[in-house]
Structures are given as C-alpha cells and as structure tokens.
Amino acid sequence: MPERWPPPAQTSPPDHCSPRLIGRHATYDVGPGQALTELTDVPWLALQAGDVVNIHYRPAPYRTKFGLRAQGTADAPVIINGVTSNTCARPVISGEQAVTARDARMADFNRSPEGAGLILIHRPPEGASETFTPRHIIIQNLKLTGVRGGKGFFNEAGKVQNYANFSAAIYALRVHNLTVQNCEITGNSMGIFVDTKGDAPDEYSANIIIRGNLIYYNGNPGSYYEHNLYIQARRALYEGNFIGQAYGGGPLKDRSSGTVIRYNKILARGHAMDLVESEEDVKILRVDPLYPYAWVYGNIIINDSQAPAGMAVNMVHWGFDNAVERGRNGVLFFYHNTVVSRIEPQAFPYVVAFQIGRDGLAPQGATVEAAANVFWQQSDNEWRFLSQAGTLKFVGTNYVPPIWYPSKPGSPADVQKKAAIMLAGSNPKLDANGLPLPGSPVLNQPDAGPSFTPPGAIAENLRVEHQYKTGVGIVPRPASSKPGRTALGAMAAP
C-alpha cells in the first residue's frame, strides 16, 4: 500500500481521441477487420500483466458482459482500451441483450453475482476467496451503458435474465489500483461500484482513481440506493470528471478513506456528494490514518431545482449516514470550490451547504473547514451553512450570500468564523463556465488552503494548481500576478 496520498493531478488530453495501444505482454484487437470480431472471443479471465485489449470503434454497440480477475503490475498494468473513431467517438458496450463472455460461462465466473455488472471485477470462483485480489487494471476510452434494473441480458445458461437494481457498468467486489478514465458511463443502475466487503483482513479495495469521465443519468427512478459513483476503498480519487445527476440516488457516494475530490463539475441530486462511514465488518479502511479526512477542492457544484432529476436540500454530506460509531470524525477540507444554488422557494424554503451526520447527531470531532470558496445563491430561499450538528470552520476569505444563517434555529451545530473574512455579495461576476469576469469581487483575494496536513498526506499534491474545463477535464490553473493572492472559487481567469 502506498503510505503517502494522493498522487499528483494529471492534465487531460486536448480531445477524447484514443489510438490503438501495444501491450508489453500480449495485444488483443477486437472489432471490424480485427483478429477477434466480438468481445466474447477475448480470453478475459486469462489476461496477464502487460496485456492490452483494444476495442475498436464500430457504429453498433458491442453486447457482451465479461469478467476480469487480472493481476497487473504498476509497470505493466492490464489495459482495456477503446480505440475511437476518426471523429473521436468512443466504442459502446451495452448491457442490454448482452451475452455473457464465453470464458466466463465456461468458468462459471459470473454465477455469483450474475447480473451485477457489465464489467465484473471479481476473484476466481475456485479457491483463494479471501486472499485473491485483481490489481493494476485500467479501463479507458469506452461508453458503458444499458445495465439497469429490469433490462435483460443472456445469462450463463443462455436464458434471458434481468439485471438487479443494484447493478453497475463496472462492478468490482475487490480490486487494488483500478483506474477508470475518459469513459462515458450513463443509463445504468450505477455507473461504477467498488466494494470493500471486509469479512476478512485481505478483503478490501484500494487506490481507486476515477479520472476525466462523463458519468451521468445512472440510477433507478424511485430508489435512493443507486448512484453514478458508489465507492468504498482504502484511498479514492476523483478528478477532472463531469459527474451529472443520477436518477433516484445521487451523483457521488463515497465510503472510503483519504477521499480526494478535485477539479470536477458536479450536478447535485439528493446531495452533490455523500461522504460517509465505511460499512466493512473488519476494520481495514477505518484503521487507515487518513480515514477521518477528505479533501474537496477546485470543483464546480451546481444545485438546480429545475434540473431533470431534482435537487439537493443538503448539498455536501460528511460524517455518517447509518452508524455514527463508524463515522468519519476528522476534517473535510473544502477549499477553492464554486457552489451555485438555484433552488427556488417554491421548490424548498431553504438550502443547506453542509450536512454533518444526520438527525442532529454527528461523530465527535467531525468538522468541515471552508476556505477560498465561492457560495453563489441565485435564488431567494433561505441559505443555511450547516444542518443540525457538527462544526463548520471558515478560514481565510469566502464569498457568501448577503443574507445567510449558521444552521437550523436551535440546533447544536457550531459555525465558526473568527478571523475569517465573509465577503458578502449576490453576484460574483462569473461567466457560464465559472470563470471570473473583469471586475469580479472574487479576484485578487488572500489565498488560503487547509490549515494542516495530516501525516500520510502529501501537501504539495493537495495544492490548487489546476481547474476544470468543460469538454476537456483538467487544465492548468493560471497563476495570480500578485503573490499571495488568488481568485476565490474553482476557476481563475488568464
């Protein structure tokens, strides 16, 4: 396990085109005019370190669900690579009416949990159930869709079976060093699900990186348990993604340790992000020294009551949702974010920036530290910064609504702003992408970030040096011309 976290941010390529790759061990090419014509012909369960599977674009979707149990290495990962068209269109893999890959049928790989995923990352069915861990797998440049509760596929017996509601385009029961990048994931019950079951000491996932993807409109209407992203792992990183709304659930639910969410655009529904306790039975994630901490910075967060899937009353949730004794009882560092709320009074009378815990109960010590953010209220309902419990501590300068309330009247929530500057205003003068316009009050403000760095975290990799760009992902953030000064919020103009 790496003891220092997170890795440095990676800037995005200028477009979504992706070429054919050559593996360090073996290369498999699938598609029109290739050695293999369908995904079911790939030896998925036999992939080794350094193997590459190139899935070449074709107009019709591929309709194969398959399993992975490969163990790559840091120097020779196993790469599932989409080769885009000449217009940069990603190959599509659809779970609707998909067949189960030939090797999975022969190995009975998907028997439990069959119907859980389009790409199922799992241990072998024979032996090693508590110790075998797939690792160093990269899935990139694909569109994954059609895995939604009620939709049918052909199971191992060749019979039609429906996906479960709690299914996902990528469903990992246990994996280390999984990277999903430059994919479009939509129209599933969940986009990506990664579990740490925690029945035994080796049953955990670790080092999950979700980078530069379009993940939106997953979820099942009428349900609250499925999300675009649902990750429980030792260390999770989300960067440079467009994370849209989810039907039923929310855009991002995370039960990990050392969570880092940076340089994304996130559309709220239920919450914008739900960062709560691990549900593992054996303490694995909860003994990680970074379990009590998370970092959320450089994100554009939009909460709109007119959005197709609905809105969020409590935008950012920290601490716990089911078991307070397992809750994250440290600091959520929340800095250089731009938070926009368009919740009309007729939709709901108030909006809350931060919810710590639930039902007036928070883990002891659970705190949000807010620095250098823009909180932009574009409607007339009541703005509350904190729900009913926990501590919110303002640091440095934050742009805030002209009228705001600390929390629900009479609640034990503690909102601290001693020595902080609350720059009040109703219009920070940002363009449609969040960039400050000339004369914006958020320009040239004193810079501020986390007040401390816990042991095990890398301070230089937690600095705000990039920003999100629509259609691209992560680009360098322009440096300020005035030392010690910065633009508040997620974006800086050149």
Q: Which residue matches tokens 């929340």?
A: 334
Judge whether residue 1 has pLDDT over 50.
Answer: no
Average pLDDT of the residues of the chain? 94
Q: What pLDDT is attached to residue 112?
A: 61
CB 83 within 8 A of CB 57: yes
| Bridge pairing between strands 314-318 and 350-356 | parallel
In this predicted model, what pLDDT tens digit does every residue of 93-138 receive, in sequence order?
A: 999 999 999 998 888 776 667 789 999 998 766 656 667 899 999 9
CB 230 within 8 A of CB 195: no
What does the domain layout of the chain look like in residue ranges?
A: 274-494
Distance CA 162, CA 143 (A): 21
| Residue 5 phi, psi dihedral angles, 5° rounding | -150, 145
Percent of the chain past pLDDT 70, that is, above it, reads 97
- Least-confidence region, from 68-72, 87-91, 103-107, 331-335: 103-107
pTM beyond 0.85: the answer is yes
CB 442 within 8 A of CB 399: yes
- Least-confidence region, from 33-42, 129-138, 196-205, 257-266: 196-205
In this predicted model, what pLDDT tens digit does every residue of 7-26 receive, in sequence order?
A: 999 999 988 899 999 999 99
Q: What pLDDT is attached to residue 253?
A: 98
CB 284 within 8 A of CB 319: no
Q: What is the full DSSP assignment across 353-404? A: EEEESBTTB--TT-EEEEES-EEEE-SSSEEEEE-SSSEEEEESEEEE-SS-
DSSP percent split of the chain into helix, strand, coil, nearest 5: 5, 35, 60
Spell 293-326 as b/e; 16+ CB within 10 A means b. bbbbbbbbbbbbbebebbbbbbbbbbbbbeebeb
Judge whether residue 445 has pLDDT over 50.
Answer: yes
Q: What pLDDT is attached to residue 109?
A: 75
In this predicted model, what pLDDT tens digit does every residue of 304-360 receive, in sequence order?
A: 999 999 999 999 999 999 999 999 999 999 999 999 999 999 999 999 999 999 999
* Per-residue pLDDT band at 450 (split at 50, 70, 90): very high
Q: Which residues contact 150 (CB under 8 A, 6 or more apart)?
A: 162, 163
In this predicted model, what pLDDT tens digit does every residue of 420-438 receive, in sequence order?
A: 999 999 999 999 999 999 9
Q: What pLDDT is attached to residue 129?
A: 63
Amino acid, single-letter form, for residue 397: T
Q: What pLDDT is attached to residue 283?
A: 86
CB 61 within 8 A of CB 94: yes
For the residues 463-467, what does the mean pLDDT come to? 97
Q: What pLDDT is attached to residue 240?
A: 98
Amino acid, single-letter form, for residue 298: G
Q: What pLDDT is attached to residue 127?
A: 57
Judge whether residue 46 has pLDDT over 80.
Answer: yes
